């Protein structure tokens, strides 16, 4: 079956520290992968998406970067976190075929 | 590009009543419209979707209608239950690898 794993579930990091969030997908190949951020009580903001290994599209200029070192792995990074980076980060995948995205369970990041 | 407007932003209904959430889209080329339910602290989950060649789709207490001419689609929940309380997002998809465009969400509260 197709599953998506996202970790960690929660993270508290000091301002200026680095960040690495990982997302992996199982049971599918060559998926499109997405990183979204959701501020408290707000909508889904698309940060990055990838249609293949090494291919990253950035939707919003910011303090974050993304990488896709393997077909089913998507990583969200920051060299130095800001307070404004706090939020709920969601990874999603899509294999086309007219079905909606499948979201991971999310990582709640609090920058202190 | 595509723009999706979602209304209302909050909705309170009595248990057993119906709830309707409406979305409009701007790109007439959009052809796939999924709806997601997000419970507190979790990732959004696909609950129903509709394609542009269909006017209505039902799944038990949930239905979605699409009016291509007016470029709007709606989610209908009948006989609401407390467990229907969540944030609901609509989205629109155009083609290829372009990401889904989400509405800003509707917070539904079902009052027992």
At A28-66, the pLDDT tens digits run 888 999 999 998 878 999 999 999 999 999 888 678 999
Instruction: Compute the distance between CA of residue B83 and CA of residue B39 in angstroms, rounded to an integer.
Output: 9
Residue of chain B whose Cα is closest to the Cα of A103:
B43
B77-98: pLDDT as tens digits: 999 999 999 999 999 998 778 8
Cα angle: A90, vertex B50, B47; to 5 degrees: 45
Residue B78 Cα, gap to closest chain A Cα (Å): 23
Mutate to test the interface with A, among B51, B99, B104, B107 (most CBs of A within 10 A): B99
The two three-digit tokens of residue B40, written as one number:
């507190």
- Provide the 10 A C-beta neighbour count for residue B30: 22
On whether any CB of chain A is under 8 Å from the CB of B54, the answer is no
On whether any CB of chain A is under 8 Å from the CB of B45, the answer is yes
On whether any CB of chain A is under 8 Å from the CB of B36, the answer is yes
Q: CB–CB of A100 and B34 under 8 A?
A: yes
The per-residue pLDDT for A59 is: 85
How far CA A62 is from CA of A14, A55, A66, A84, in Å, comes to 18, 18, 11, 10
Q: CB–CB of A42 and B104 under 8 A?
A: yes
Q: CB–CB of A43 and B99 under 8 A?
A: no
A14 pLDDT tier (thresholds 50, 70, 90): very high
A98 pLDDT tier (thresholds 50, 70, 90): low
* pLDDT over 70 at A97, yes or no: no
Beta-carbon contacts of residue A97 (< 8 Å; ≥ 6 apart): none
């Amino acid at each position: 079956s197709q599953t998506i794993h996202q970790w960690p579930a929660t993270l508290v990091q000091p301002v200026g520290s680095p960040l690495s969030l990982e997302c992996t997908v199982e049971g599918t190949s060559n998926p499109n992968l997405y990183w979204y951020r959701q501020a408290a009580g707000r909508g889904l903001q698309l940060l990055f998406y990838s249609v293949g290994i090494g291919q990253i599209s950035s939707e919003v200029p910011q303090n974050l970067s993304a990488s896709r070192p393997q077909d089913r792995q998507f990583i969200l990074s920051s060299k130095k976190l800001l307070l404004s980076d706090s939020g709920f980060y969601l990874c999603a995948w899509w294999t086309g075929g007219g079905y909606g995205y499948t979201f991971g369970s999310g990582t709640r990041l609090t920058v202190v | 590009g595509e723009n999706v407007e979602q209304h209302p932003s909050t909705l309170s209904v009595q248990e057993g009543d119906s709830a309707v959430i409406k979305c409009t889209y701007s790109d007439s080329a959009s052809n796939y419209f999924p709806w997601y339910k997000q419970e507190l602290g979790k990732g959004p989950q696909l609950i129903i979707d509709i394609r542009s060649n269909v006017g209505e789709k039902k799944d038990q207490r949930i239905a979605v209608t699409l009016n291509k001419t007016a470029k709007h689609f709606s989610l209908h929940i009948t006989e609401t239950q407390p467990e229907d309380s969540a944030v609901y997002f609509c989205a629109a998809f155009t083609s290829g690898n372009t990401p889904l465009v989400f509405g800003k969400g509707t917070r539904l509260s079902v009052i027992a």
